[in-house]
Amino acid sequence: MGECGGRGVEYNGLGDDDERSRNKHNNFQKVSVVPLVFLIFYEVSGGPFGIEDSVQAAGPLLAILGFVVFPFVWSIPEALITAEMGTMFPENGGYVVWVASALGPFWGFQQGWMKWLSGVIDNALYPVLFLDYLKSGIPALGGGPPRTLAVLILTVALTYMNYRGLTIVGWVAVFLGVFSILPFIFMGLVAIPRIDPSRWFACDLRNVNWNLYLNTLFWNLNYWDSISTLAGEVDNPKRTLPRALFYALLLVVFGYLYPLLTGTGAIPLDRELWTDGYFSDIAKILGGVFLRWWVQGASALSNMGMFVAEMSSDSYQLLGMAERGMLPEFFSKRSRYGTPLVGILFSASGVLLLSWMSFQEIVAAENFLYCFGMILEFIAFIRLRIKYPTASRPYRVPVGTIGAVLMVIPPTVLICVVLALASFKVMIVSIAAMLFGFILQPCLKLLEKKRWLRFSVSSDLPDFRPSENENAAETLVE
């Protein structure tokens, strides 16, 4: 397990020879730039479904400003860090490997546990959103056994899609993404005669639910780092990953602002109506029943896309952790389609167990856990910059060490605000989950020591070795 982190270690073997060596051991088709853009799109966004609460919480002006300013405070720094670290460590496991290489295997495991759990919580949200959009047309899906059965069927069907292969998931994401964006483009066009720009400036600072507002922004604009757990499945990740992150950032911001400007500018404001699924009601007002069904269908497909993208990230993260000896070896076993079967089953089980939670509870809980994971990522980013400034970084954020520190200060402040605004219930549950991770890692080490479970480090992966340019006397963690 010490293979993935410790003092004085650097990720070597990133040259062309090592890239060919890694590809030789994986004959499955790699993900190219276009499917990767839409996988990132669905990891982060999936369209405007779920942003309605920002208007309810703060009104049109703050909602619009939030989706303009927030990307500069959070999304761009996170995407830049993902591009640098993801090309420095182009393997499955992503941020787990970053933290393990900077802070050691214990903290690497904690990062994996918190991020996997927040990802599974996030995935439990998509069946909820899917049914919230359909319940206006099919009231029986609003609760009771029909809703429970629908969640089960959705989870099983989408889990099977993940089982069939990441390349299939990627191109399905492309189709779903295009279909999900089209009705909002059409809605914006038919809304032009109704647009009143003065409605965009409605604001009442005395009536702002800051907790709901920030959690909605944070949930809709984070998870840029999730794609790093699939880096081992990407074709030429050193070039493809940074480009895909850039294109996805543009797509995500456009996918939020365009519908938000349409809905708030064309419809008289009633903040209480801006809840999950309200865009389908706006579509009916602007374009009739046909457009409402189109938006609802787009929501259904969008939630399918977000589900399969998030499950891919979560399951490949578990595979990457197993390949680095952090989890039992059976997590690294692939199906005949090259997919991590055990990781998919674990992730699907977590989704079913958490699907009873409400939308806002899910968002708050996953944001809390995600924040702690991001703090570890920021620390790892800065520590590796300071300790190993000459390490190979195919993409490097164009700032020095001081600039890197300054870059992570605004998102760190935002993290502190989100954590401070969390409800007591969310705080207690999330901290308990984190503490469970502190217990789980030593227990797994004991199982490994007793040889009750088999752990191994994949021979296909490059080693972490002391840098020739650094202090060679520093040694790996046992």
Task: Give the model's confidence band at 5: pLDDT under 50 very low, under 70 low, under 90 confident, else very high.
Answer: very low
Q: Does some domain include residue 474?
A: no
Residue 79 CA to residue 246 CA, distance in Å, equals 8
Tokens linked to 221: 């604009």
In the chain, % of residues over pLDDT 70: 87
Chain segment 373-382, per-residue pLDDT in tens? 999 999 999 9
Q: What angle do CA 175, 279, 70 make, to 5 degrees?
A: 80
Above 70 in pLDDT, residue 303?
yes
Task: Give the model's confidence band at 133: pLDDT under 50 very low, under 70 low, under 90 confident, else very high.
Answer: low
By C-alpha distance, which of 2, 17, 91 is closest to 461?
91
Residue 149 CA to residue 152 CA, distance in Å, equals 5
- Residue 347 CB partners (closer than 8 Å, separation 6+): 116, 119, 120, 123, 311, 314, 315, 318
Higher pLDDT, 296 or 128: 296
Task: Give the model's confidence band at 10: pLDDT under 50 very low, under 70 low, under 90 confident, else very high.
Answer: very low
Q: pTM for the full model?
A: 0.84
Above 90 in pLDDT, residue 308?
no
Tokens linked to 225: 């780092």
Above 50 in pLDDT, residue 332?
yes
Q: Does some domain include residue 274?
A: yes
Above 90 in pLDDT, residue 429?
no
Helical segments of 140-196, H only: 144-164, 166-191
Task: Give the model's confidence band at 28: pLDDT under 50 very low, under 70 low, under 90 confident, else very high.
Answer: low
Q: Does some domain include residue 95?
A: yes
In CATH, what number is assigned to the domain containing residue 317?
Answer: 1.20.1740.10
By C-alpha distance, which of 436, 231, 242 is closest to 319?
231
> So what's the pLDDT on residue 353?
75
Number of independent structural domains in the chain? 1
Q: Does some domain include residue 166?
A: yes
> So what's the pLDDT on residue 406?
96
Q: Does some domain include residue 466?
A: no
Chain segment 41-91, per-residue pLDDT in tens? 999 998 998 899 999 999 999 999 999 999 999 999 999 999 999 999 998
End-to-end CA distance of the chain: 8
Query: What range does the domain containing 102 cover?
Result: 29-450
Question: Of 72-81, 294-303, 329-338, which gets the smallest average pLDDT?
Answer: 294-303
Q: Does some domain include residue 470?
A: no
Cα 221 to the center of its chain, rounded Å: 9
Q: Does some domain include residue 471?
A: no
- HSE value, Cβ hemisphere, 13 Å, CA-based, for 438: 6
